[in-house]
């Protein structure tokens, strides 16, 4: 099939006419108002987030506990069960392995 110059010019005129009728960047079809993206967190997610924030806000060292132990040490009344220390060490090691 042979395409003549006249046919090319007609197609070009039609294309130019369409561009003038429709503003650049617009897509034909119904106008849809743009809405910003939004996210809604589940109740469980909000609870986890609140717990995480509470943990982050907690001090690294519990000063009241340290002061109790210091006072007991100074008074000579601080007693530690070796069995209890071993139990806590094993529990901590197990928890660390799960991480």
Which of residues 54 and 8 earns the better pLDDT score?
Answer: 54
DSSP string, 30-70: -------------HHHHHHHHHHHHHHHS-SS-HHHHHHHH
**pLDDT given for residue 86 in this prediction:** 96
Q: Encode pLDDT of 82-94 as tens digits.
A: 999 999 999 999 9
| CA max distance for the chain | 109
pTM (2 d.p.): 0.35
Reported as a single tens digit per residue, the pLDDT across 6-49 is 888 888 888 888 877 665 555 566 777 788 888 888 999 999 99
**Tokens encoding 76:** 């000579």
């Amino acid at each position: 099939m042979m395409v003549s110059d006249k046919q090319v010019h007609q197609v070009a005129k039609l294309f130019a006419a369409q561009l003038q009728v429709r503003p650049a960047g617009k897509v034909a079809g119904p106008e849809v108002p743009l809405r910003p993206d939004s996210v809604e967190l589940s109740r469980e997610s909000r609870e986890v987030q609140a717990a995480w924030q509470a943990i982050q806000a907690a001090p690294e060292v519990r000063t009241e506990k340290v002061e109790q132990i210091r006072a007991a040490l100074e008074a000579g009344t601080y007693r530690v069960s070796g069995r209890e220390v071993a139990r806590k060490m094993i529990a901590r090691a197990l928890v660390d392995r799960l991480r």
